[in-house]
Amino acid sequence: MKTVLIGVGQAGGKLTRELVDFDDRMEFGAVLDAVAVNSAKADLQEIPFETVLVGQDRVKGHGVGGDNELGADVMQSDKTEVLSALDDSVSAEAEAIFVVAGLGGGTGSGGAPVLVKELKRIYDVPVYALGILPGRNEGAMYQVNAGRSLKTVAREADSLLLVDNDAFRSSGESLEQGFDAINRAIAQRVGLLFASGEAVEGVAESVVDSSEVINTLRSGGIAALGYAAAESAEDAEGNINTVMSTTRRALLTGTSLPEASKADSALLVIAGEPDTIPRKGVERARRWVEEETGSLQVRGGDFPLRSGRIASLILLGGVERSDRLEAFMQRAKDAVKEAKEAEEREDPADAWSNDELDDLI
Ligand SMILES: Nc1nc2c(ncn2[C@@H]2O[C@H](COP(=O)(O)OP(=O)(O)OP(=O)(O)O)[C@@H](O)[C@H]2O)c(=O)[nH]1
């Protein structure tokens, strides 16, 4: 799927950079172009592709400090510059646009929904978002920002592919220490998804096509991506059980949104040397994904790849009803409530109008 990437905010820019690197390293050529947008000048300095600084008149290049309403405002004010930077990037070849952002901060969280909405007005290709959910140990501000941003992006984008920072965290490591590793893990998975349908080696009927990715995401709402790989046997027969076990791991323990296994639609991509991909195993794995997700729309296809490994990549569309997402939305709502209570506590005047204390007479 020929894709144009727009990274918004710090996390968005860093993850976009990883995605560009992965696509280059693998020589897939699925990423057509990339642009990074930020209100913090320092975050743009390391970016090796086109950048746009927004909100300079309001925040003087220092970022919006986690204020996502300000993030939305500065994107709205400077959208013309951002859109004109994209003029040449979104060529006739482009099949999709991805806006990449951390949903917990200010610039990405506020800017991404505004940008997605504008892009949808202009371009005919699907406009997707790749959103990063804050880990459960991040502060209340991050949860509140992400709750509001998620709701808006999911409404505006053709689909929101969610990645939970907690899904990729290694034990004993702080979230910050782990960011580079998390970004690499996400870039590998999402990069393979972009490249699905790009590989032309060993062209066969079973090779996955970009349109299958687009059709899987057609139901809109929230999407997730699962992945697992294992050493490949030398022939297809020897890989029947391996395909089944990587598929199980990809869905049950390897998704970008843990515990999201019920879905409206799914796409199962098996990547590996074409003559080691077992038809029987792939069919069996696809039926298992149908049962497990409860979806009658499970597409499938191969991704021919020169590798000693065999991998299952599962794209899930319509995972809104997942427990993890419900838990996150509850976290965001609790954080809003706590913030309101703290605000009231700070104002001594409110002590007199406390509803929990009954009047004496
Ligand atoms: N996966 C991942 N998450 C990150 C990274 N950097 C920050 N985050 C997460 O993204 C959220 C913060 O968003 P940032 O992108 O840093 O903020 P911003 O959009 O630049 O906004 P401001 O700094 O407020 O201007 C937090 O939830 C972080 O946990 C990263 O490199 N990788």
Least trusted range by pLDDT, from 273-282, 306-315, 318-327: 318-327
Q: How far is the CA of 175 from the centre of ligand 1 (A)?
A: 11
Asked if residue 360 belongs to a domain, the reply is: no
Residue of 67, 132, 145, 183 with the most ligand 1 atoms within 8 Å of its CB, for mutation: 132
Which of 195, 228, 263 terminates a domain? The answer is 195
Confidence class for position 35, pLDDT limits 50, 70, 90: very high
- The per-residue pLDDT for 202 is 53
Q: Is 70 exceeded by the pLDDT of residue 204?
A: no
How many angstroms separate the Cα of 119 from the Cα of each of 55, 107, 125, 222? 19, 17, 9, 19
Please state the rounded mean pLDDT for residues 177-188.
92
Question: Are 147 and 72 in the same domain?
Answer: yes
- pLDDT at residue 352 tops 60: no
Q: Please choose, from the candidates 38, 65, 62, the residue with its C-alpha nearest in 3D space to the C-alpha of residue 50.
A: 38
Residue (of 163, 102, 96) closest to 123 by Cα position: 96
Q: Do 86 and 62 reside in the same domain of the chain?
A: yes
As a whole number of angstroms, the distance between CA 263 and CA 236 comes to: 29
**How many residues are given for the chain?**
361
Ligand 1 atom showing the smallest separation from residue 134 Cα: 27
| 340 annotated to bind ligand | no
For residue 158, tell me if it sits in a domain.
Answer: yes
Q: In which order are the strands placed within the sheet that holds 96-102?
A: 50-53, 31-38, 3-8, 96-102, 127-133, 159-164, 222-231, 309-317, 265-272, 298-304
26 with 105, same domain: the answer is yes
* Predicted complex ipTM: 0.98
Dmax (CA) of the chain: 85
Three-state SS for 115?
A: helix
Residues 197 and 166: their CA atoms lie apart, in Å, by 29
Q: Let me know if residue 206 belongs to a domain.
A: no
Residue 269: predicted pLDDT: 97
Statement to judge: residues 332 and 295 lie in one domain: no
Query: What's the CA gap between 138 and 331, in Å, rounded?
Result: 11
Q: What is the mean pLDDT of residues 13-42?
A: 97
Quick check: 358 pLDDT over 70? no
**Residues 6 or more apart whose Cβ sits within 8 Å of residue 278:** 236, 237, 239, 240, 243
pLDDT the model gives residue 7 = 98
Together in a domain, 347 and 262: no
Q: Determine phi and psi for 90, rounding to 5 degrees.
A: -85, 85
105 assigned to a ligand binding site? no
* Atom 12 of ligand 1, nearest CA residue: 105
| pLDDT score, position 259 | 84
Mean pLDDT of 167-186: 84
Please name which of 151, 99, 91 lies closest in space to residue 128, comparing C-alpha atoms: 99
Please give the residue range of the domain that contains residue 337: 324-353
Minimal CA–CA distance to 165: which of 131, 129, 134? 134
pLDDT in tens, 139-151: 999 999 999 999 9
Whose structure tokens read 């309101």? 340
Asked if residue 123 and residue 72 are part of one domain, the reply reads yes
Per the CB < 8 A criterion, the answer to whether 114 and 127 are in contact is no
Q: What is the pLDDT of residues 276-290, one digit of tens each?
A: 999 999 999 999 999
pLDDT exceeds cutoff 80 at 59: yes
The answer to whether position 359 is within a domain reads no
- Structure tokens belonging to residue 272: 């590996």
Place of tokens 């950079």: 17
Percent of the chain with pLDDT over 70: 94
Residue 250 alpha carbon to ligand 1 centre in Å: 26
Q: Give pLDDT tens digits for 227-255.
A: 999 999 999 999 999 999 999 999 999 99
Ligand 1: nearest atom to the Cα of 110: 19
Is 12 annotated in a binding site? The answer is: yes
Ligand 1 pocket test: pick from 10, 74, 115 the residue with the most ligand atoms within 8 Å of its Cβ.
10
309 and 335 within one domain: no
Which of 126, 290, 312 lies closest to 208, judged by CA?
Answer: 312
Whether 106 has a binding-site annotation, put simply, is: yes
In a domain, 361, yes or no: no
Asked if residue 138 belongs to a known ligand binding site, the reply is yes
What is the number of domains present in the chain? 3
**Has 68 been labeled as part of a binding site?**
no
Same-domain pairing of 334 and 281 = no
**Cα distance between residue 260 and residue 121, in whole Å:** 31
**One domain for residues 173 and 301:** no
Let me know if residue 214 belongs to a domain: no
The CATH code of the domain that includes 25 is: 3.40.50.1440
Statement: residue 322 has pLDDT above 90: no
301 and 339 together in one domain: no
Judged against a pLDDT cut of 70, whether residue 117 lies above it is answered with: yes
Spatial separation of the C-alpha atoms in residues 193 and 100, rounded to whole Å = 15
Residues 181 and 298 in one domain: no
Cβ contacts of 69 within 8 Å, gap of 6 or more: 110
* pLDDT reported for residue 345: 75
User: Do 166 and 238 reside in the same domain of the chain?
Assistant: no
Residue 197 has pLDDT above 80, yes or no: no
| Residue 355: pLDDT band with limits 50, 70, 90 | low
The answer to whether residue 208 sits within a structural domain is no
Q: What is the mean pLDDT of the chain?
A: 92
Instruction: Give nearest CA residue, ligand 1 atom 32.
Output: 179
Measured from the CA of 71, which atom of ligand 1 is nearest? 25
* The pLDDT value given to residue 343: 75
CATH of the domain at 251: 3.30.1330.20
d(CA 93, CA 203): 20
Q: Which two tokens stand for residue 97?
A: 């646009």
Q: Is 108 annotated as a binding residue?
A: yes
In a domain? residue 297: yes
pTM of the shown model: 0.93
Instruction: Give mean pLDDT, residues 221-231.
Output: 96
Residues with CB under 6 A from ligand 1: 9-12, 14-15, 39-40, 63-66, 102, 104-109, 132, 134, 138, 142, 165, 175, 179, 182-183
Q: How far apart are CA 21 and CA 25, in angstroms?
A: 6
- Residue 10 Cα to ligand 1 midpoint, Å, equals 5
**Long-range contacts (CB closer than 8 Å, 24 or more residues apart) made by 324-330:** 324/164, 324/257, 324/258, 324/259, 324/260, 325/162, 325/222, 325/257, 325/260, 328/133, 328/143, 328/146, 328/147, 328/150, 328/164, 329/147
Asked if the model's pLDDT at residue 347 lies above 80, the reply is no
